Amino acid sequence: MKPFAYVKPLDVDEALRAAGPAVKFLGGGTNLVDLMREGIERAETLVDLTGLPLDEVDELPGGGLRIGALVRNSALAADRRVRARYPVLSQAVLAGASPQLRNMATVGGNLLQRTRCRYFYDQAHACNKREPGSGCDALGGFTRGHAVLGVSESCIAAHPSDMCVALAALDATVEVRSVRGTRRIPLADFHLLPGDTPQVETALADDELVTAVELPPAPVAANSRYRKVRDRASYAFALVSVAAALEVRDGTVTAARLALGGVATKPWRAYEAERVLVGGPATEEAFGRAAEAELAPATVRPGNAFKVDLARATIVATLRELA
Ligand code: SF4
């Protein structure tokens, strides 16, 4: 591993003053440390955030929740308010990684985790995300885990997070701070499509720190579910995942939230499917039409074409259960 300086700030302001292009913030370290060992992430300075007062889940006026960036994934999943008001979020977090990793991993780190594309990790292969302009060996390679939505000719890597899929469905907002001030970024705008610059994955500037995630009140989320399909029962990334919330009155869908994971280059809010669902009948046929509308723009390759049918089936099954 390349040598680096280690800094342990006493408060958030000191951490912000240390920020910069060659600086990485350390939360749980469950992704960053692996990447630094492999020489894929390179930092001159590591700013250790552990111990800073960003590890609480607080009530927001009006019924939402504010989740500190250093809240551990296991604590978030166990929070009784999250479980009661946003069960899809608790289920999504519990669907990710292993208990040991969830005990270490933080909410802020989960937002910023890098892709698990095998070519990104293997430096013998070309990867535009790791080395901009070098090419993408996944395009003609093994694509079982790769995305079919939001892809470009530069990158087809799927976003790896489960938690972020639930946050997308819940209209979460990411609070970020720097010495320049505080701003709030809707989760839908926080992660970026790869386009021609797959190395730029988020709207976060070099000097900004994620300090919290805010959940607005969402009564529909009380009836919500996260369903993850993967190659083995635990500790595997999603082939397809669905975060859904549904409200049905007299057989008609009155509110719907839907987001997809495993199939897209960023946590994928399924706006088109929601448009089809709301105001329509809560039937399996209508759920299928909504899924097809969302998946119509999919760009598939031989290795991942199965994801379109799998996503349709998973969306229908999840909505049927909620209805
Ligand atoms: Fe790299 Fe993206 Fe291609 Fe994977 S899909 S090799 S991350 S450019």
Q: Which residues contact 298 (CB under 8 A, 6 or more apart)?
A: 148, 149, 263, 307, 308
- Residue range 82-137, pLDDT digits in tens: 999 999 999 999 999 999 999 999 999 999 999 999 999 999 999 999 999 999 99
Assigned fold of 223-322: Enolase-like; domain 1 (3.30.390)
Q: Which residues contact 190 (CB under 8 A, 6 or more apart)?
A: 111, 174, 202, 203, 204
Q: Structure tokens of 214?
A: 């805010």
Quickly state the pLDDT bin for 291 (edges 50, 70, 90): very high
Residue 1 clears pLDDT 80, i.e. is over it: no
Q: 176: CA distance to ligand 1 center in Å? A: 27
- Residue-wise burial string across 36-63, b where 16 or more C-beta atoms lie within 10 A, e elsewhere: beeebbebeebbebeebebbebeeeeee
Which of 40, 137, 153, 304 gets mutated to test ligand 1 (max ligand atoms within 8 A of its CB)? 137
Dist CA 9 CA 66 (whole Å): 23
SS3 116: coil
Burial status of residue 140 (CB atoms within 10 A of its CB: 0-12, 13-18, 19 or more): exposed
265 ligand 1 Cβ < 6 A: no
Question: What single letter denotes the amino acid at residue 189?
Answer: D
* pTM for the model: 0.98
Domain residue spans of the chain:
223-322
Q: 156: CA distance to ligand 1 center in Å? A: 6
Residue 2 clears pLDDT 90, i.e. is over it: no
- Residue range 182-239, pLDDT digits in tens: 999 999 999 999 999 999 999 999 999 999 999 999 999 999 999 999 999 889 999 9
151 ligand 1 Cβ < 6 A: no
Which of 41, 113, 116, 120 gets mutated to test ligand 1 (max ligand atoms within 8 A of its CB)? 120
pLDDT computed for residue 279 by the predictor: 98
127 ligand 1 Cβ < 6 A: yes
115 ligand 1 Cβ < 6 A: yes
Protein residue whose Cα sits closest to atom 6 of ligand 1: 127
